[in-house]
């Protein structure tokens, strides 16, 4: 994987770039739709390509390991062959999912024992076998196995957790370097910066990760309940240290406003379930704010969802989508998910354009003000 910086904003740390992988190029800043179990909920790959304009999607190691299982994925020749998506894929290591299984997991120096949320069966993740699993999945970008501590962890717990994450990272890197890709395309490994909301721990973590000289780096453990301004502060602290010539991935974030503020602070890659999850619950994002499509005000509004949006936005009226949600039609969730994902991808594309033009900061301030409105 290579990363080429293209344009930089003179009034902020925003920048554009180009990631090149064996499965295609990724223009940054980029938003990556979440395909947890190898599928983006309610959205076919044809729609992801033609309507959403997705350049890369995510898979999740924990979920794919449990279902369909690594034997099936290996027989298929990896996730690209299994699900038919022939563009880049990034896999989360499953650390966040494992550590969210409060009460059914046991943490040790060696790794983490957990029980499946599906059938209660017992499993054990280590840095080594998580690397092996991601080799079998075949993602273009693999993530290191880390502990994601609770957002409100006290300092001592956060410090011990970070030390464990760092020891695990060394083991991940060792296993990654000892093994080879299985399907003929190159894979990259991103370390993850943790440290909760403690500045000194984030500084330590970022320096530790920067020294590894990986193809890219991730920032984890944010947007987990801390105030938004604290999240932005932690991003600034970390990005002051992480290499400028490598892509920076902010994990699990967030709202459209979050994306623009993080781009201004030097972030290149994002993922979040919000566009599809909120869409399934009738919340639509657009450049003027958010709309609840269950509200009666849309009942007789025959204007398109977005006249400047994707094809589905232009041919679907607000009144029709309101009707679909009221009637409990599955099509409602599908249209809303496509709309939201397409909007997120257009938003980062517009950000790239304004960075290149040199007026990103002015545009961002105006856009953020409108994005928070309820329509």
pLDDT at 101: 72
Residue numbers in the known binding site for substrate are 92-96, 146, 194, 221
pLDDT at position 102 is 67
Segment-wise mean pLDDT, segments of 10 residues, the chain, 375 residues: 97 98 98 97 97 98 96 98 98 83 82 91 96 98 93 92 97 98 98 97 98 98 90 98 98 97 98 98 97 98 96 98 98 98 98 98 97 94
Hey, what domains does the chain have and what are their CATH numbers?
A: 2-271 (3.20.20.105)
For residue 334, what pLDDT is reported?
98
Please state the residue numbers annotated as binding site: 92-96, 146, 194, 221
- Assessment of whether the complete model's pTM goes beyond 0.85: yes
Instruction: State the pLDDT at residue 103.
Output: 72
Question: What SS3 string covers the chain?
Answer: CEEEEEEECCCCCCEEEEEEECCEEEEECEEECECCCCCCCCCCHHHHHHHHCCCCEEEEHHHHHHHHHHHHHHHHCCHHHHHCCCCCEEEECCHHHHHCCCCCEEECCCCEEEECCCCCCEEEECHHHHHHHHHHHCCCEEECCCCCCCCCCCHHHHHHHHHHHHHHHHHHHHHHHHCCCCCCCCCEEECEECCCCCHHHHHHHHHHHHCCCCCCEEECCCCCCCCHHHHHHHHHHHHCCCCCCCCEEECCECCHHHHHHHHHCCCCEEECCHHHHHHHCCEEEECCEEEECCCHHHCCCCCECCCCCCHHHHHCEHHHHHHHHHHCCHHHHHHHHHHHHHHHHHHHHHHHHHHHHCCHHHHHHHHHHHHCCEC
- Residues with a known catalytic role: 92, 271
């Amino acid at each position: 994987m290579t990363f080429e910086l293209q344009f930089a904003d003179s009034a902020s740390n925003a920048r554009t770039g180009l990631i090149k992988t064996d499965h295609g190029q990724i223009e940054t800043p980029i938003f990556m739709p979440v395909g947890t179990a190898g599928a983006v909920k309610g959205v076919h790959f044809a729609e992801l390509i033609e309507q959403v304009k997705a350049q890369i999607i995510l898979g999740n190691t924990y979920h794919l390991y449990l279902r369909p299982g690594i034997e099936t994925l290996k027989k298929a020749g990896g996730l690209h062959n299994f699900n038919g998506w022939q563009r880049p894929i990034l896999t989360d290591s499953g650390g966040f999912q494992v550590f969210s299984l409060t009460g059914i997991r046991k943490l040790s120096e060696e790794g983490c024992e957990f029980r499946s949320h599906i059938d209660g069966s017992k499993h054990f993740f280590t840095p080594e076998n998580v690397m092996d699993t991601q080799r079998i999945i075949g993602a273009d970008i693999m993530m290191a196995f880390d502990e994601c501590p609770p957002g409100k962890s006290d300092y001592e717990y956060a410090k011990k957790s970070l030390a464990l994450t760092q020891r695990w990272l060394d083991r991940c890197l060792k296993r990654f370097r000892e093994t080879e890709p299985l399907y003929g395309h190159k894979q990259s490994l991103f370390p993850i910066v943790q440290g909760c909301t403690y500045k000194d721990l984030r500084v330590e973590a970022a320096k530790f990760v920067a020294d590894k000289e990986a193809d890219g780096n991730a920032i984890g453990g944010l947007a987990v309940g801390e105030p938004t301004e604290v999240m932005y502060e932690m991003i600034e602290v970390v990005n002051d240290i992480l290499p400028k010539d490598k892509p920076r991935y902010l994990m699990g974030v967030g709202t459209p406003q979050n994306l623009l503020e993080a781009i201004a602070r030097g972030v290149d890659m994002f993922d979040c379930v919000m566009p599809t999850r909120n869409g399934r619950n009738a919340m639509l994002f657009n450049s003027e704010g958010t709309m609840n499509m269950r509200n009666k005000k849309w009942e007789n509004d025959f204007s398109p969802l977005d006249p400047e949006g994707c094809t589905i936005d232009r041919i679907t009226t607000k009144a029709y989508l309101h009707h679909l949600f009221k009637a409990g039609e599955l099509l409602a969730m599908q249209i809303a998910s496509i709309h939201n994902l397409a909007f997120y991808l257009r938003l980062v594309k517009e950000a790239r354009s304004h960075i290149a033009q040199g007026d990103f900061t002015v545009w961002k301030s105006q856009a953020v003000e409108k994005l928070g409105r309820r329509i």
